[in-house]
Chains A and B, each alone.
Chain A
Amino acid sequence: MEFRPRQLLAALASYGVDCLVIGGIAAAMHKAIRETIDVDILCEPSEANLERIAVLLTSLGARVKGAQRPARRVGAELLHGVTLMTFETELGELDVFFEVPGMPSYSELSQRAHRVAINGSFVKVVSRADLIALKRAGGRDKDRVIIEELLKLGELGAPEDPDAA
C-alpha cells in the first residue's frame, strides 16, 4: 500500500476537515522522526465535520481496515459514536480518532495546536507537550523512545512551533 503522508494531510486540509495531527506523524513534524505506517488524526466531532471526513474518505477510495469488500462510498453515519476507526486509503492508512482516553477535549487540544504548512496547505498539529501527554496516556513501550526524543528536542531548544525553524 502507498504511504504518502504529506499528500494525505494536504487532502485533509483541502476538504476542510477539522482535525489535529497526532501520533507518529505529529512526532515527525516535531522532529522526532521514527518509522510509522499511518496518519493519526483527532477529529472535531460535529455532524458537519463527519460529513467532510466521509466525503474525503470516499474520494480517497477508503475502506475500513481489514474489510474484504472493495472501496465504496463512505457515509457519515459510519462515524457516529465511534472513538476510533481505521481506514486504508489510496494515500496510506488513516486512523480517525474522536476521543483519546485520559486526554483533554478536542477543543482544548486545538487551542494549543500549531498551524503548519504542508505541501501548500495548512494543517493543525498537536503541541509537543500535548503529544508527549498523548504518548504517555497510550502507555505503549515503543512510544517511550519518541517521548525521550521529544523531551530531548525541547532541551536542545527546538521551537514549540514545528514550522518556526
Chain B
Amino acid sequence: MQSGQAPVDHDDESRGNTQSALDSVDEAQLRSRLLWTANECLKHLEEFTHDMEALRQEFHRSSPPDIVAQ
C-alpha cells in the first residue's frame, strides 16, 4: 500500500446501513414502552407486523410487475 492511501474497507457499505439503522433508535419511543408488559409488547409487534404485511401487499397490487420483481 502506498503511503497515505486509505485502507480498502469492504464492510463500509454494511457499516453504513447499520449506522442508518442505529440512527433510527428512538429514545422517546423506547421510553414510551417502559411500562408495557411483555404481552402488550407482543400485541404491538403483531399489529406492526400485520401493518407491514398490508403495506407489502398494497405495494405488490399497485406497482408494475418489473418493480415488484426487484
Q: Is the CB of B49 within 8 A of A36?
A: yes
Q: Which residues of A contact B42 (CB under 8 A)?
A: 5-6, 9, 25, 28-29, 118
Query: Please, how many residues of chain B have a CB less than 8 angstroms from a CB on the other chain?
Result: 27
**How many pairs of residues, A versus B, come closer than 8 Å at their CB atoms?**
91
1/0 per position for A1-29, CB-CB distance to B under 8 A? Answer: 00111100100000000000000010011
1/0 per position for B14-31, CB-CB distance to A under 8 A? Answer: 100110011011010011
Q: Which residues of B contact A36 (CB under 8 A)?
A: 45, 49
Q: Is the CB of A145 within 8 A of B46?
A: no
- B58 → chain A, closest Cβ, in Å? 16
CA of A153 to CA of B28, assembled, Å: 11
Determine chain A's interface SS by DSSP, over half rule.
Answer: mixed
Q: Is the CB of A141 within 8 A of B17?
A: yes
- B59 → chain A, closest Cβ, in Å? 15
Q: Is the CB of A31 within 8 A of B46?
A: no
Q: Which residues of B contact A37 (CB under 8 A)?
A: 49
Docked complex: B34-50 residues within 8 A CB-CB of A: 34-46, 48-49
With A5-B42, A6-B42 given, is the CB distance from A31 to B49 under 8 Å? no
B binding-site residues for A, Cβ under 8 Å: 14, 17-18, 21-22, 24-25, 27, 30-31, 33-46, 48-49, 52
